[in-house]
Amino acid sequence: MKNAPIFILGSHKSGTSLLRSLLDDHPELCVIPFETHFMASLGRWIKYSYRKQSPTVKAEYTQSLLRTLENYSKSSDRQADVVLSDIMDIDKAKDFLNQSEDINTPEQALSLFNELLPKIIPAMGDPKGKRMVEKSVEHAEMAMELYRYFPGAQFIHIVKNPYSNFVALRKFKSKNQGYPLINKVFGSLETGYFFLDKNEKSIPKYKVLRYEDLARDPSSVLKSVADFLNIKFDKKMLQPTLLGSPWSGNSSYGEFAGISAKFLDNWKDEIHPFEANLVTQNLSHVLEKYGYEKLKMVKGSLMPAKGESLKRYLYNRIYRYYLS
């Protein structure tokens, strides 16, 4: 691609959607307002707990992408990636994708969006000549392959305090099912940190930033992001938007205006001793590397968590021994 893409990476509920929204209205960028999962649609092997799939020899890319778009067109969950039910023209998406030729490579897959997006989301305008910005949480696993296909690409990986990220993801997954299986929550975070470590050592244009720094000092952090991307810093970057309109976020703490540090420490009152000890015991290297305080082991791990069924309680407490 003539204009090398920008990939936003990070774990579920770590601030990736916020970062994407802060780049949304920049005149030099074409920010895709949803997770495309285009590598998954190409049949790649994914280990990420909440999007796990085996590799597919011959993937049906356009049909897989269409299913993804149909899910977005029906979504009304504010805490999900994004709500596009009133924005996306799914009928035009069907017409376009049903007539498209087979897509086999990441270059073809990402280039397809240059044609598709203006047809199904007119508010995006013409993306030609702009750098495309894409974020899908599982793409941390494929960053090295993406770098091989897009040697000029730049990657921004946002990291959140593992204790806080654990609580945020657990709350998100608890909405409809009660307290979740903890192996999927922990596994998704661990996978993200594992590939972050590998990618940061192997990919030259790979920037890591902390969510807490972004929330507390957005101006300085976003100026450093602009410098990294070699784009002009624009004050519009300080206001989260979706297709140029104010975006109220997907936080479990409710809607907000602008960037807020108000809830940064709420996890301290919401984390269960079992969760805190799991992070302390198994992710201490992540805490140390990114400058987060390591908590002492606390009592209370055997107490059931709110909404935790007996079956899940037994599974979750046994799981910690699996990690030992």
CATH architecture of the domain formed by 6-246 = 3-Layer(aba) Sandwich (3.40)
Distance CA 210, CA 80 (A): 21
Question: Which pLDDT does position 75 carry in this prediction?
Answer: 72
pTM over 0.85: yes
What's the distance, Cα to Cα, between the start and end of the chain in Å?
46
- Domain-by-domain residue ranges, the chain? 6-246, 267-323
Residue 250: what pLDDT? 65
- Torsion sign across C-alpha atoms 234, 82, 136, 128: negative
Q: Are 33 and 47 in contact (CB under 8 A)?
A: no
Tokens of 269: 């009152």
Q: In this predicted structure, what is the pLDDT of residue 86?
A: 75
Q: What is the Cα–Cα distance from 118 to 230, expressed in whole angstroms?
A: 25
pLDDT of residue 314: 96
Specify the pLDDT at position 81: 61
- For 233, list phi and psi in degrees, rounded to 5: -65, 130
Nearest to 40 by CA among 48, 31, 30, 29: 48
CA proximity to 320, closest of 268, 273, 250: 273
> So what's the pLDDT on residue 1?
46
List strands edge to edge, sheet with 29-31: 29-31, 131-135, 6-9, 154-159, 206-210
Task: From first to last of the 324 residues of the chain, give the pLDDT tens digit.
Answer: 457 999 999 999 999 999 999 999 999 999 999 999 999 999 999 999 999 999 988 889 999 999 999 988 887 665 566 667 678 899 999 999 998 888 999 999 999 999 999 999 988 888 888 999 999 999 999 999 999 999 999 999 999 999 999 999 999 999 888 999 999 999 999 999 999 999 999 999 999 999 999 999 999 999 999 999 999 999 999 999 998 888 877 666 666 677 888 899 999 999 999 999 999 999 999 999 999 999 999 999 999 999 999 999 999 999 988 887
Integer Cα distance of 251 and 260 in angstroms:
11
Question: What single-letter amino acid sits at 265?
Answer: D
Task: Give yes or no for a contact between 134 and 140, defined as CB atoms under 8 angstroms apart.
Answer: no
